[in-house]
Amino acid sequence: MKILRSIGNGVCARLLGAALVAAGLSGEAGFAHAASEHERLREPVKQVADQRLLIETPDGKGELPVYADHAIDAVAPDVTKVLVIVHGTLRNADAYYATGEKLLAKAGDLAKGTMVVAPQFLTRPDVRAFSLSAQTLAWTQNGWKGGDAARQPAPVGSFSALDALLQHFADRRLYPSLKTIVVMGHSAGAQLVQRYAVVGREAQDLANTGISVRYLVANPSSYLYFDNERPALPADQSVAACPRATQWRYGLASAPPYVSSQDPKLLETRYAQRNVVYLLGEADTNPYTHFIDRSCAAMAQGPYRLARGLTYFDYMKKRHPADLNQKVVEVPGVGHDDEAMFTSDCSIAVLFDRPVPQSCPVISGTAQSADTSQ
């Protein structure tokens, strides 16, 4: 598929208008749809996870709700793989947990020994709506997606919460047979996962205990870039027209302390070597649905999610011509649908170390001996 390149401010508006026409939406109807979507963001979640994991960090501690198909603190000698599935912008971890269970069912014997875990990053309105304990961690609506500090009960960042969650699985008294953790997310969850794949601190400690970590990034609205280059912009335009394009979460400027305390060059070098698969829906080409980020910073990355993902991977390949341990796997016929993405044959092949079907287009990284399905 040809990736559109004209993403300047004026061009963005024309591109968006044309896309709305193609999608059967007038400008007025499209913006009304967006308003309706954002109303949904202010509503409390429908369900809250039934288990709690105590998250302890140097910034404080709190309880993170999680769904899991095993008791989170019980000994699980048969678990060899853990899928950590991060929910989307609606914080509906129940739906993502259900998708994980469907994924296991479809995978059949391949999924033997696999545990599904779905953490839930709540907001204060969620906590109030369910009269949850004051120790329940709660972030702002957008804050959890980018590593911001929780608003209660302590300023625990969502990256630190993920560190603690992964650290929990490194406990060999509970998980003596664990070999692999996959941190995976779709849409807003994929935004968190992609940034965490860059900045997360637990992977090496887990590797030292014999546990490998891989990341599955599915259809996010935007990606974290390492410099001011935005390949989706035409040659005669720059990010100067949109300063936000280089700010955190789109770039490294003004990042939270968890990120800014680390060496940017080391972050990129380490990220290129991490086992990352970008799972992209070939039909995720509508620029005006499912809470897609339409800010100038996001539009500088491309007009819609598929284009943004392909552009970003091309950017990473050019920056790492010999050591990119990553790949793109496209899911034919699927748009912005977490269940269809994660239960696809393409996804199951990636998750369970099987050859990717020929029906799933693959773009490989540049590492000479890399096989990101392993």
Task: Residue 62: name the closest of 139, 118, 173 by CA.
Answer: 139
Neighbours of 197 (CB within 10 A): 22
Contact 114, 82 (CB under 8 A): yes
Contact 158, 144 (CB under 8 A): yes
Burial 69-92 (b: 16+ CB within 10 A, else e): bbebeeebeebebbbbbbbbbbbb
The CATH class given to the 9-364 domain equals alpha beta
Q: What is the pLDDT of residue 313?
A: 98
pLDDT one-digit tens code per residue, 84-95: 999 999 999 999
What count of Cα atoms within 13 Å lies in the side-chain half-sphere of residue 347? 32
- pLDDT band, very low/low/confident/very high, at 76 (cuts 50, 70, 90): very high
If you average pLDDT over every residue of the chain, what do you get? 91
More confident residue, 259 or 370: 259
Q: What is the mean pLDDT of residues 169-178?
A: 97
Q: What is the pLDDT of residue 35?
A: 55
Cis peptide before 294 (omega within 30 of 0): no
- pLDDT band, very low/low/confident/very high, at 26 (cuts 50, 70, 90): very low
Q: What is the pLDDT of residue 348?
A: 98
Length of the chain: 374
pLDDT one-digit tens code per residue, 114-173: 999 999 999 999 999 999 999 999 999 999 999 999 999 999 999 999 999 999 999 999
Distance CA 187, CA 336 (A): 8
Q: What is the pLDDT of residue 34?
A: 54
- The alpha helices in 116-227, defined as continuous H runs, are 124-129, 158-169, 188-199, 203-208
Single-letter amino acid, residue 80: T
The residue extents of the domains of the chain are 9-364
> Is the predicted pLDDT of residue 4 greater than 70, yes or no?
no
Q: What is the pLDDT of residue 42?
A: 80
Cα–Cα distances (Å) from 222 to 45, 49, 231, 233, in that order, read: 24, 27, 13, 15
Query: pTM for the complete prediction?
Result: 0.90
Q: Is residue 332 exposed (0-12), middle (13-18) or buried (19+ Cβ within 10 Å)?
A: middle
Question: To the nearest whole percent, how much of the chain has pLDDT over 70?
Answer: 88
| Residue 248 neighbours by CB under 8 Å, 6+ apart | 146, 254, 255, 256, 259
> Is the predicted pLDDT of residue 13 greater than 60, yes or no?
no
> Is the predicted pLDDT of residue 8 greater than 70, yes or no?
no
Task: Residue 258: name the closest of 342, 185, 202 by CA.
Answer: 202
pLDDT one-digit tens code per residue, 261-273: 999 999 999 999 9
Q: What is the pLDDT of residue 110?
A: 98
> Is the predicted pLDDT of residue 176 greater than 80, yes or no?
yes
